[in-house]
Chain A
């Protein structure tokens, strides 16, 4: 696959954009015309060449600019990267997982040469050519987790497993949808899932936790999550609410197609071999509504999903203020025709 990496911003003038190919491969999250919260976990196996599911870790046209945006966030706020001391080994696990997978999936961009513990890593899009000693922190410019995260799209949380629970004890979180690593670090699975309405009543988290405690090496799983954002802003963190919260009041039916973005997270979960920790990548994809409606099925379906979304879920996803404008905009693209099953374009 030959792609050119976009030069674009996720703040200020917001020059982020999707090519026609990026629109066609957008991971639209709704397989039917309504949405219910559920444990929609499936094996993270490769399928549909060209889609975001082809490779274990998807790299797309936004790679270089997303990594640059992450560097900006980390420079302003170093607490977006944290690792409790017992998580160092999990950081090396993560570095190994990404380097081996990226070099296998995209040999034209990434190369890894291992000679015992002497590792040579080449990252062509970012112009990196480093040699280091595996498991020796002093041979890298950052800790192992932060080193590889500064070359990766998406947020990553590292979950330690002990006392029959999972603990968010490390992570690099710079593109999050309104949650905070600094607030959640050290919390267990139930605590950091605290605020989701309905899900607790359904026992969703108890079942999910049980499942994750038994997650096996070599059998990663994935799920999609979604919300909406005003402008293609990656960093909608609570720390920066003052910067993005006010944007919601500017959305009108006339500008909703341009201002409003569907934000989809491709989340996966992997058991790490050395540390027995779990890594939880949260990869974010953004698409403007005006781009989304170029796929007629998606325009119709998103209109129906948002129209019928229970108020408490709309509230939880922060959509209460913008939903009327979005619905008015999307209704132009919903002629009432039947939609086909599944998430892919017709």
Chain B
């Protein structure tokens, strides 16, 4: 068993179904091993899936896509990412029906805003997963919504038929290979007052949607986005943990947070994707370059070099000392 200092409550689950959704995307169904109901969650929530891969304990966040009321099982979808750090490959190649995994309780960093008169959803690629749970919830409560979903092609798009059949005209699908593009400016201009916008997808798409909306004068509190970052890979480096009096090595495909955890040091986290702020750590000193990859700290804080978000950020140089 890989050493972990994380003492947050966990849910033990068994994989009971694996479905090939597209050539790159698989859907996994998890059922609790103790047979007790799973915690209720809301659209937009994710769980952190723990995978024991030899000596490495991988922890990847995945959005829950099942119906929020269903407590007998959770569903997630995973896109195969050969260039990534290995979590998605592990899920695709090593996890089978019957595998045992461990989940965190659901966390929602992308909640529906209940003040909205209408919900305008944008999804790109695998970013569709939180949107699926949000829509099933909005439909249940009878709230007004529409989805604009960009995919590479008919074959690469996940859940296209299901979406068309369930939601009809409330869903518009745009296929890149057919030259179809979201008519963003027209769409945004046509929305009733009190509309809230949600976007989840690749970074480029999110920036495009959010900056266009801002440019058209949408108030910041009406804009919601889910920005999960996979921690990037890089050269290995060493970190000194002053409070724990330890020196640790961070491997090329390991995040600083994973290395801290592997050393048995309890470190806070929620999203593991540079968005929530929970893992913020004070930098005592450094000689080199901090590679900030998070969305949480401000530009000034990035430049200041006093704080780092170890779930996604890296370091290059001679020495980094953290207050941890």
Nearest CB to that of B10 among chain A residues?
A218
Contact (Cβ within 8 A) B39 A163: no
Which stretch (B23-31, B106-114, B154-162, B314-322) binds chain A? B106-114
Report how far A266 CA is from B270 CA in the complex, Å.
Answer: 27
Contact A275 B270, CB 8 Å, known A216-B8, A219-B105: no
Let me know if B310 is at the binding interface, CB within 8 A: no
Let me know if B273 is at the binding interface, CB within 8 A: no
Contact (Cβ within 8 A) B114 A89: yes
Let me know if A48 is at the binding interface, CB within 8 A: no
Let me know if B9 is at the binding interface, CB within 8 A: yes
CB distance from B197 to the nearest CB of A (A): 14
B40 cross-chain contacts in A, Cβ below 8 A: 96, 273-274
Contact (Cβ within 8 A) A219 B9: yes
Report how far A218 CA is from B7 CA in the complex, Å.
Answer: 13
Report how far A161 CA is from B278 CA in the complex, Å.
Answer: 16
Report how far A135 CA is from B115 CA in the complex, Å.
Answer: 18
Contact (Cβ within 8 A) B41 A273: yes
Contact (Cβ within 8 A) A163 B221: yes
Contact A214 B113, CB 8 Å, known A219-B105, A276-B42: no
B108 cross-chain contacts in A, Cβ below 8 A: 217, 276
Query: Within the complex, which residue of A96, A210, A217, A275 is in contact with B114, where a contact is CB–CB below 8 Å?
Result: A275
Contact A218 B9, CB 8 Å, known A89-B114, A274-B68: yes
Contact (Cβ within 8 A) A219 B8: yes
Contact (Cβ within 8 A) B41 A217: yes
A89 cross-chain contacts in B, Cβ below 8 A: 114, 141
Interface size, chain A (Cβ < 8 Å)? 19
Let me know if B277 is at the binding interface, CB within 8 A: yes
Interface size, chain B (Cβ < 8 Å)? 23
Interface of chain A, helix or strand or loop or mixed? loop
Let me know if B276 is at the binding interface, CB within 8 A: yes
B91-130 vs A, CB cutoff 8 Å, 1 = contact: the mask equals 0000000000000011110011111000000000000000
Tell me which of B42, B221, B276 has the highest count of chain A C-beta atoms within 10 A of its own C-beta.
B42
Contact A214 B278, CB 8 Å, known A273-B40, A273-B42, A273-B106: yes
A155-181 vs B, CB cutoff 8 Å, 1 = contact: the mask equals 000001111000000000000000000
B217-243 vs A, CB cutoff 8 Å, 1 = contact: the mask equals 000110000000000000000000000
CB distance from A38 to the nearest CB of B (A): 19
Contact (Cβ within 8 A) B115 A274: no
CB distance from A192 to the nearest CB of B (A): 19
CB distance from A279 to the nearest CB of B (A): 14
Contact (Cβ within 8 A) A217 B221: no
Nearest CB to that of A97 among chain B residues?
B40
Contact (Cβ within 8 A) A216 B42: no
Contact (Cβ within 8 A) A214 B42: no
Report how far A217 CA is from B68 CA in the complex, Å.
Answer: 14
* Chain B residues within 8 Å of A, Cβ to Cβ: 8-9, 39-42, 68, 105-108, 111-115, 141, 220-221, 270, 276-278
25 A-B pairs within 8 Å (CB atoms) are namely A86-B114, A86-B115, A87-B114, A89-B114, A96-B40, A160-B114, A161-B111, A162-B115, A162-B221, A214-B277, A214-B278, A216-B270, A217-B39, A217-B105, A217-B108, A218-B39, A218-B105, A273-B42, A273-B106, A274-B68, A275-B42, A275-B114, A276-B42, A276-B111, A276-B112
* Chain A residues within 8 Å of B, Cβ to Cβ: 86-87, 89, 96, 135, 160-163, 210, 214, 216-219, 273-276
Which 3 interchain pairs have the tightest Cβ spacing? A86-B114, A218-B105, A276-B111
Known: A89-B114, A219-B105, A273-B39. 17 other contacts (CB 8 A): A89-B141, A162-B113, A162-B221, A163-B220, A217-B41, A217-B105, A217-B106, A217-B107, A217-B108, A218-B105, A219-B8, A273-B42, A273-B106, A274-B40, A274-B42, A275-B42, A276-B111
